[in-house]
Amino acid sequence: MQNSVDRASLDQWYVLDTEAFIPVGRSHNRLLGTDLTVEKDADGQIVVRAEGRVDPLPLRHRFGFLWTTLGSPEREIFPLPEADEADRRYVPCGVVTVRASGLRIVENFLDMAHFPFVHTDVLGAEPHTEVMQYDVEIRREEDEVWATNCEFFQPQAALSATNGISTKYMYRVMTPFTTILYKTCPNADDRWDVIGLFVQPLDPDRCRAHPIMYLIDDVSTTTELIHFQQMIFLQDRIILENQRPVLLPLEPRKEIPTRADASSIAYRRWLKEKGVTYGATTAA
C-alpha cells in the first residue's frame, strides 16, 4: 500500500524499541516506509541509519526506549512527570506488530465504547455499556488532545483490582502516534495509574505498538502485569486488523460518529489541521 510521508508525520519522535532489546542489523527496523539499520560504534553506542541517507539519525533515550526521527521535530519528546516518580512500577509490555494503520491504533486506544464487547468481564460488561458524556479539548499551547471526566464501570479495571469499580479516565494524545491513559488507581485514591502506547508506523497499514505502564502496585509480579496488558492489547488487535477501511478516514462523511466518539472526532480534526496523512485517507 503506497502513501507518501507528510511533513507533519516526518517531524515527530518515534519509538524504535526498548534500549535493552533493540535488534542490531536491518531485520525489522523500519519507520514510515524507510528501512533502518542499527549498528554499534567502537564505544558500544547505538547508531541508527536510514536507507538513502549518509548521516546517522538523531537519537533520544526516554522512558526506557530509543527514539528517533526522519524529520526535524519542533519540540523535544513530551514530558511525563509520573515516569520519574520513584515509587512507581515501570512495566514495559513488549511489542506487538499489527496490520493496521498506526492512527487506527491510537483512535482505538481512545475508545471506551468497545470495552464491554471486546474486553468482556475485564474492562467492561453488559448491561453497563453506556459511555457517559465527557469533555474533550485540543490544548493549543501544548498541541495535545485531551479527554477528561471520563468514567466507565469495569469488572476488573486493573490486575490488582478485586472488585468491579467505576473507573475514572483521562486520555492524552501527545503526537499523532503517541497516547497516554490516566486511570483510577485501585491502590492509591489520590493518584493515577498511567498507561502509554507508543506506535512505530512501519508502513501506512502496518505498525509496531509499544505499550508501557507506570503503576502504583506492589503486589502483582512483573510477569502478571505484562500478561494482563498483553491480553488486553491482543484482544484489540483482532478488531484492528479487521477494520475497513484499513486507513483512518479523516473526512467525517466516511464514518458516522456518535456521542461516545467525541475524542475520536477531536483527534481526527487535530490530525487534519496538522496535515497528517500517513496512515490516513482524506478522500471524500
pLDDT digits (tens, 9 = 90+) for 228-263: 777 777 777 778 788 888 899 987 665 555 554 788
Per DSSP, the chain holds a count of helices (H) and strands (E) of: 5, 16
Residue 21 inside a domain? The answer is: no
Prediction pTM value: 0.86
Query: Region 64-80: what's the mean pLDDT?
Result: 95
Reading the block at residue 144, the C-alpha cell is 495535545
Residue 145 inside a domain? The answer is: yes
Name the amino acid, one letter, at 241: E
The answer on pLDDT for 167 being more than 90 is no
Q: What is the pLDDT of residue 159?
A: 54
Residue 201 inside a domain? The answer is: yes
Residue 169 inside a domain? The answer is: yes
pLDDT digits (tens, 9 = 90+) for 5-21: 999 999 999 999 887 77
Q: How many angstroms separate the CA atoms of 157 and 168, rounded?
A: 10
pLDDT digits (tens, 9 = 90+) for 78-116: 999 999 999 999 998 888 899 999 999 999 888 765 555
Residue 217 inside a domain? The answer is: yes
Q: What is the CATH number of the domain that holds 234?
A: 3.90.380.10
The half-sphere exposure of 191 on its side-chain side, counting CA atoms within 13 A, is 14
Q: How many angstroms separate the CA atoms of 148 and 135, rounded?
A: 5
Residue 125 inside a domain? The answer is: yes
In eight-state DSSP terms, residue 120 is B
Residue 163 inside a domain? The answer is: yes
How many residues can be counted in the chain?
Answer: 284
pLDDT digits (tens, 9 = 90+) for 120-135: 445 544 555 555 788 9
- 123 vs 194, higher pLDDT: 194
The residue segments making up the domain with residue 259 are 80-281
The SS3 assignment for 232 reads: helix
Query: Region 30-34: what's the mean pLDDT?
Result: 94
Q: What is the total count of domains within the chain?
A: 1
Residue 222 inside a domain? The answer is: yes
